[in-house]
Amino acid sequence: MGAQLGSSERSPQTSKGAAPAGEHAEETLIAVRKAKAAKLRERAENPFANDVTSGEPLVDLASARARFEGAKNAAGRYDAEKVAPEPLRIAGRVLFLRQMGGVSFVRLRDRTGELQLYCDEAVLGEAYARLHEEIDLGDIIEASGTAMATQKGELSVKATSFRLLTKAYRPLPTKTSFKDVEARYRMRYVDLVANREVATVFRARTFIVSALRRFFDGQGFLEVETPTMHTIIGGAAAKPFKTHHNTLDMELFMRIAPELYLKRLVVGGFERVYEIARCYRNEGLSTRHNPEFTMLEYYQAYATYETLMDQTEAMLRAVDEALAQVLPEEHATWAKARTWSFEKFVRVPMAKAIENALSRSGLPPEVATNVAADDAPIKAWAKAAKEKKREIDWANFRAGMKKCDSEGERVFCAYEYLAEPFLTADYRTSPGGDGSKSLPVFIIDYPFEVSPLARKKDGNGSLVDRFELFVDGRELCNAFSELNDPEDQDARFRAQVEKKAKGAEETMDYDADYVRALEYGMPPTAGFGMGVDRLTMLLTGAASIRDVILFPLLRPEASGS
């Protein structure tokens, strides 16, 4: 007889996606658990104890296992003769409870892992009956005992005593029932228990952020914090969230990027700065977009965008290697499933990417810059592309072209529809490889009209020193040599204001203070921005940005659920 995570003892959650038992059945189970807690109180025992620091120190479950690493045999099982009966005091959540005659096996989990508790009626005496009468799956208990190995070679703690630390009133869902995506996102606290791989992804995220910090700290960068509430819209072309400061009676905007404040610090002499910044953009939801997200931005004086391309390759490889060291088994699984490789990075000018895409599709060069009012050329181009098996979104491409006000905007639009969707197909590991994986692609040299903060290229004022990196077809980061000419920046800001006056929503305001800062002199500088959420998705193979954000934005929960 036994119970485990997913046994019939529990009624699943009432939220969408839980198992079929109704709300009444769950309420009955909750009432039974509350009655057990009341019984403990009658014995003057607290079902929500807080005296865990008294007595022998608690040993986390991974450390307990580590003490007996040398007791494993060739098959990875523990040799009972080599496991010394060392005293241990452990604690964790009950995931599994199984009784075999006068012995019960309890599986506990803490933040570090899992370990089995071996409960013998001959040792525990009267307390043994309480194990099944008062302890439920999901409860958090502590136990004292000695290390041992079972006949099957499972490392265990032979309990001499145990007690309840926290009573779980609500039963945990089953592993198979708690799969509804919205229910998992809404009740992440349950998701982390029911779906262990979810917890692994979020541990990976923490390690990724730590590795980023180590990388930049090791390069002499200074981590800083800049304001999250701005008086004007700046740093990126996006629609902001608005808020209001009551005392100052001032409208403020939640930051869409920390860029302009970080560059002010470069002016002030902080020549290498970075921030892991929470940012907010009032945009739609998708598998790659959440209105609240985390951005890494850094700025380096006396560097160019080419410097940052080299540094980006080193950074990504370093972070991936760090992740492999702390989560070797999980990383091996993720790496095996990857359709891309960090082995080699490709650098392609935007104009060349468009040229290559048109050539592979058998399309004429004028597709990139000209869309006629009538549909005849569009239909001809679409037919030609279809024959080459290129799935181009011609309708939106044409609609996008008609919104463009300049040659540079048309070039960028052509790139977005004709080249970007096919980067994974166009840039592969061959020659020199088997072509089974896509290569990361730096798209470089953007039109200046779509890059209001980037420095124009020497010798070609229609382009800027900018790159975006695409890995597995997804944009990961954006960087450029910074514009430090205050007069040029003044003109770019004014152009943004003109676009806003014509109805464009995703534009920046004129930032007079930033122009003034540039007038004090900013050294030649390159800047970089990357979504930490997207990097986590990439390295862990997550399909949606919501899978790497602990509490993503959701619609309000329906009443009664």
Pull the structure tokens for residue 438: 């896509």
Quote the tokens at residue 496. Answer: 């943004």
Q: What is the largest CA-CA distance in the chain?
A: 90
Q: Is 475 annotated as a binding residue?
A: yes
What are 99's two structure tokens? 């009784």
Measured CA to CA, the distance from residue 139 to residue 255 in angstroms comes to 42
List Cα–Cα distances, 219 to 283, 306, 545, in angstroms: 34, 17, 29
What does each C-alpha distance from 77 to 70, 84, 163, 465, 513 come to in angstroms?
Answer: 11, 15, 29, 58, 67
Q: What are phi and psi of 247, to 5 degrees?
A: -60, -45
Residue 285: count other Cβ atoms within 10 Å of its Cβ.
15
* Beta-ladder partners of 223: 274
Q: What is the dihedral of CA 531, 280, 192, 55, to 10 degrees?
A: 100
Q: How far apart are CA 115 and CA 130, in angstroms?
A: 21
Q: What is the Cα–Cα distance from 520 to 410, expressed in whole angstroms?
A: 35
SS3 498: helix
The angle, 0 to 180 degrees and rounded to 10, between the axes of the packed helices 394-402 and 407-414 is: 170
Give the DSSP per-residue string, 27-94: HHHHHHHHHHHHHHHHTT--TB---TTSSSPP--HHHHHHTTGGGB-TTSPBPTTTS---EEEEEEEE
What's the rounded Cα separation, in Å, for the pair 520 and 261? 15
**Tokens representing 134?**
């008062």
Q: Which one-letter DSSP state was computed for residue 362?
A: T
Hunting for tokens 């007889």 — which residue is that?
A: 1
Cβ–Cβ < 8 Å for 345, 315: no
H-run or E-run covering 164: strand 155-166
Question: How many residues are listed for the chain in this entry?
Answer: 561
For 50, counting Cβ atoms within 10 Å of its Cβ (0-12 exposed, 13-18 middle, 19+ buried), the class is: exposed
Tokens of 118: 């071996």
The CB-side HSE value for 341 (13 A sphere, CA atoms) comes to 14
Q: Taking the mean position of all CA atoms in its chain, how far away is CA 110?
A: 23
Contact 141, 91 (CB under 8 A): yes
H or E stretch including 2?
Answer: strand 2-4
> 134 among the known binding-site residues?
no
Residue ranges of the annotated binding site for Mg(2+) are 468, 475
Residue ranges of the annotated binding site are 468, 475
